[in-house]
Structure 1
């Protein structure tokens, strides 16, 4: 149980940063700030890499963010 809690303690701040950046992206269509936020997301998530034990919601969220990032950079 200690190992799982230690992992959770390490991952929780990452998830919080991803959540906050995603909320900021949804609220602000500003292209320059969106580019910076996507840069931060790619860095935080290691290019949207889902951990091997990531759940379906985790996978779906990262896939959606990666898709939005790609679309943003194509415009």
Structure 2
């Protein structure tokens, strides 16, 4: 899942080396914390959060199998 998130976000940002994805796993959920360069935050979030919503939709749809919910936190 980290590779999917990184591949999507890399094409959007100007500083792909500053992408950091951390994974936190709990009983019934997995949370991915995405951090990008401060200049790229707006590009990842998009107007009215449209790009962030689209990224989350793709990540949630890619969750095949497993009984844990996936969350994406963009910082």
TM-score, normalisation: structure 2: 0.32
More strand, by proportion: 2
Kindly indicate whether structure 1 or structure 2 has the higher relative contact order, using CA contacts under 8 Å at least 6 residues apart: 2
More helix, by proportion: 1
